[in-house]
């Protein structure tokens, strides 16, 4: 299982806000939707993200453009999955309020393009 580091960018910027490591069955592709559920929110609510870039950091033991015989093999340093905050069906009330407020201030906020019912976190506890 590959380990990735999900890097969440600040709203409307490319500057990183925070990052979280995960073991995943495969590396998410650009455009993939991610939903992160944490222990302080009831399942399935949390942080919805959309993948913008995937960075593979690699190391190689040789400095030349051609390998030796037998060739030496490089290795993986880390995989960074850079994401924008988004509104999705699993957005917590806090997440939704933060992103809707940003959108009201003119920040572009992506909304998941899914056809499913999104029940708000507060509607379940009422």
DSSP-assigned states of every residue in 40-91:
TS-TT-BEEEEEEEEEEEEE-S--SSS--SSPP--EEEEEEEEEEEEE-TTB
The pLDDT profile of the chain, 126 residues, written as one tens digit per residue, is 889 999 999 999 999 999 999 999 999 999 999 999 999 999 999 999 999 999 999 999 988 777 678 888 999 999 999 999 999 999 999 999 999 999 999 999 999 988 766 666 676 665
**How does strand 3-9 pair with strand 16-23?**
antiparallel
Residue 26 pLDDT: 97
Residue 126 pLDDT: 54
**Domain range enclosing 68:** 3-125
Residue 19 pLDDT: 98
What's the burial of 81, exposed, middle or buried (CB within 10 Å: 0-12/13-18/19+)? buried
Residue 118 pLDDT: 63
Residue 17 pLDDT: 97
Q: What is the pTM of this model?
A: 0.86
Domain count, the chain: 1
């Amino acid at each position: 299982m590959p380990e990735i580091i999900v890097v969440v960018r600040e709203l409307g910027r490319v500057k990183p806000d925070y990052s979280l490591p995960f073991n995943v069955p495969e590396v998410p592709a650009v455009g993939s939707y991610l939903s992160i559920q944490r222990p302080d929110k009831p399942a399935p609510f949390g942080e919805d993200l959309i993948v913008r870039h995937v960075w593979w950091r690699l190391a190689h033991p040789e400095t030349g453009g051609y390998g030796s015989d037998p060739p030496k093999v490089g290795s993986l340093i880390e995989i960074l999955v850079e994401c924008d905050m988004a509104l999705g069906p699993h957005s917590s009330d806090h997440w939704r309020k933060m992103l809707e407020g940003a959108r009201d201030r003119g920040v572009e906020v992506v909304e998941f393009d899914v056809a499913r019912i999104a029940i708000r976190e507060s509607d379940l506890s009422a």
